[in-house]
Structure 1
Amino acid sequence: MTEFIIRLIEQGGYLGIFVLMVVENIFPPIPSELIMGMGGVAVSRGSMAFWPLLVVGTLGSTLGNYVWYLAGEKLGYRRLKPLIDRWGRWLTVDWEDVEKGTAFFQRHGHWIVFALRFSPLLRTIISLPAGLIHMPRAKFLAFTLVGTAVWNTGLILGGQWAAGFFETSQAVAEWVVGGMLAATLIAYVYRVVTWKPRV
């Protein structure tokens, strides 16, 4: 499975990475850790280069987050709530999550957009409150771009480091990658099945 995923990433090239990173930040359950980590393995093999991978991955992630920002900014509370109530199950978010995220954003200020780019669980959802609060667009994009670039750098370097391990311990690598995919999918399905809107 590991080899199959790496080949898919290599065949998709930089455009494929860009699209995956956009989608990963809009709709779960595609983990960026796997996308950019496997990209790092491809860099180690010489089929991709570090800087182009970092640039397209970061731009894709920033664009995906910007979609959430625009949703909050353009729709506002009144028009956004019915959409969350209707489609929240598939996004695994409800209106209470939005309200909590907005309160958290207001308590900690704009810098939290940068800080949460390093959080696997909260880095995307914080973009919605940023739009609802009308955080200055240039500041949002700058904080998102820089924070995402740092995060993706770590993922690519981690993938490069793990490449040697994948070559020498293929069986273990299959379990690790398969476990990541299975855990992500199971967590998403569980959230969808057990999701209940809180009123």
Structure 2
Amino acid sequence: MGGWVTNTLNSLGYIGVVWLTFLENVFPPIPSELIMPLAGYLVSQDRMTLVGATLAGTAGSVIGALLLYGFGRWFGEERLKRFADRNGRWLTLSPRDIDRASTWFEKRGLWAVFICRLIPGLRSLISIPAGIHCMPLGRFVLVTALGTAVWTGALVFAGQQLGENFERIGRWLDPVTKVVLGAMAVWYLWRVIRFKHDHERSAHG
């Protein structure tokens, strides 16, 4: 994959950054931790600019996030409730939980989107609940762009400073991604185990 990313950036430049970061949001196996530090290396070679690479990476990520947001908006809260009513345990959600989540998202959704755009493993996923809970599109685009610009700019700058050693960034961040995904898996299993007990208790309480 690294060779394909390198060839794409070398041949397409800023357009390649936009394309790859769009794909990275829709297909997470393509990591921004590889794309943007490589763009930073190209900045160190005067083949891109720091601002240009950051803007291109941000644009591609926002486009990809909009696609996931649109899916969440299309799926919708009511459809999610019906799905939860049939498959609540495996989804670890009940219709009542979804109502609570909607209330929470209305109050804190902006911060949730911004912070998650800075966390490997959650950067793409947060766009779906934002769509499901109908976060206003303008706010979603603004906070997604801001969070993405911080993340993208940091990776480009680090790649620029490391030069030919830019691949170290991916190795440094890989354990963080694994910890986040592992924590999500443990949390999900705990929710599945506790789901029936918690909801039976609430039904009798």
TM-score under structure 2 normalisation? Answer: 0.67
**Shift of residue 110, structure 1, vs aligned partner:** 2.3
Spell out structure 1 runs of 4+ moving beyond 3 A.
Answer: 1-8, 77-83, 94-97, 102-109, 175-181
* Cα pair distance change 1:42/1:4, threshold 3 Å: farther
Distance 1:180 1:35 in 2: 13
**Structure 1 residues not aligned, in runs of 5+:** 84-93, 167-172, 189-195
**Shift of residue 73, structure 1, vs aligned partner:** 1.1
Length, aligned pairs only: 175
Aligned to 1:17: 17
Distance 2:23 2:164 in 1: 29
**Shift of residue 56, structure 1, vs aligned partner:** 1.2
Give the conservation status (yes or no) of the 8 Å contact 1:10–1:47.
Answer: no
* Cα pair distance change 1:4/1:21, threshold 3 Å: closer
Q: Quote the sequence identity (%).
A: 36
Alpha-carbon deviations, 1:87-106, whole Å to 9, x = none? xxxxxxx8449x89x57746
* Cα pair distance change 1:29/1:134, threshold 3 Å: same
TM-score under structure 1 normalisation? Answer: 0.69
Distance 2:113 2:169 in 1: 30
**Shift of residue 109, structure 1, vs aligned partner:** 3.2
Q: RMSD of the TM alignment (CA)?
A: 3.8
Report whether the alignment pairs 1:113 with 2:113.
yes
Give runs of aligned pairs for residues 44-59 of structure 1, distance below 5 A. 44-59=44-59
Give the conservation status (yes or no) of the 8 Å contact 1:114–1:146.
Answer: yes
Distance 2:81 2:72 in 1: 10
Give the conservation status (yes or no) of the 8 Å contact 2:28–2:124.
Answer: no
**Shift of residue 176, structure 1, vs aligned partner:** 7.7
